[in-house]
Structure 1
Amino acid sequence: MITAAPRLGTLSSRTILPAPLPVRSALRGDAASLAALSRPFVRSGALRERSPSLYASDASDFLVVESNDGTLDGCLGLRVHPADPAGGRGPTGVLYNFCVAPRRQGCGLGGQLLRAALAKATAHSLDALFTATTGGGDLFLRYGFAPARAGLAPKAWANSLDPRRNSRVLARVL
């Protein structure tokens, strides 16, 4: 997972930022574009590799921002996990495959996607959100996430974490 801090030094009080593009739910037909957007982050080791067919089957998890030319500029997956009554936990969510095209980093697109994911999680009455990042997680921390033990997360997701990636688990109670 990648988060990029805004490049504050490049903006002046006269800088005109483009109007935010709407966040929408991904469609199965976005699978190839999701794979293409994610590819540079997979190469860098920040994201796990996923096939276009996996993006197609999981398309309903994704929120995306599409530029005016039809290119995807950012995406964020939100997988809902059912309640675990035995563990005393309500339904939770996991944020994954969060990426913003390098040309759009630093202009608020990541925050826009994260706010949309928080709204979707609230609409689903989730108790908490979890994520794992190989980076610093600054954006998540600014939005109320805090370091957490993987054992607090949905078991299937926690068990899927690759210890070689040295990911940091973050959580936010909703």
Structure 2
Amino acid sequence: MVAPSTPAAVSVRAARPADVPAIAELSARFAAEDLLLSRTPAQIAGRVGEFLAAVNEVRLMGCVGLSRRRRGLLLYNLCVAPDAQGQGIGALLVDHAGRVGAALGCRLLVAVSKHSGHWFVQQGFTELTARQMPAGWAHAFPPGRGSRLYVRPVTQPGFAEQSIYQNRTESRNL
């Protein structure tokens, strides 16, 4: 799992309501290419507490949504600004997601993507076939999208911001 070095000025934090317009704008670029499901700003605002944001001193550079599903933490809406790709920001987001998952007692990170699986494999994910998919995950595959399921173990606990997700995620009975 080799990732390019991430610029020191980039940090990952919980998304804030003020980040919604930037998340929506960034996500819309990928939805227009059919790489992400389209989400309105209102939909993102309703789930902003599930998002991590990769930011520098100027702007939001990437984001990922996290949704607990029993023993797994689903990563959704993972995207990095086109001009910031190749700098390790996506890997940084996945690493932080793993730490959140570990803090919540999840065993797996789960990603559903139409994009090339090569990047996910580089991040330690393994592609699962439909037959290998855990029960209850079929809902993550909208019919006809051609999405693939990727899983990897979470990282070890120790994420400094773990408590921001504890209350919101555990309160759901997913």
Common fold by TM > 0.5: yes
Is residue 123 of structure 1 aligned with residue 103 of structure 2?
yes
How many residue pairs are counted as aligned between the two chains?
152
Larger Rg: 1
Offset from partner CA, 1:44-63 (integer Å, 9 cap, x none):
11011101111111111111
Q: Report the CA distance between 1:78 and its aligned residue.
A: 1.2
Which residue pairs with 2:11 in the alignment? 22
Cα distance in structure 1, aligned partners of 2:9 and 2:97: 16
Percent identical: 32
Which of the numbers 22, 37, 46 marks the counterpart of 2:35? 46
- Any unmatched runs of 5+ in structure 2? 155-174
Taking only aligned residues, the RMSD between alpha carbons, in angstroms, comes to: 2.3
Contact 2:15 2:53 (8 Å CA) reproduced: yes
Which residue pairs with 1:170 in the alignment? 150
After superposition, residues 3-14 of structure 1 pair within 5 angstroms as none
- Any unmatched runs of 5+ in structure 1? 1-5, 9-15, 83-90
What amino acid sits opposite 2:39 in the alignment? Answer: R
Contact 2:28 2:39 (8 Å CA) reproduced: no
Quickly say closer, same or farther: Cα 1:153–1:37, change in 2 above 3 A.
farther
Cα distance in structure 1, aligned partners of 2:53 and 2:110: 19
Cα distance in structure 1, aligned partners of 2:110 and 2:21: 26
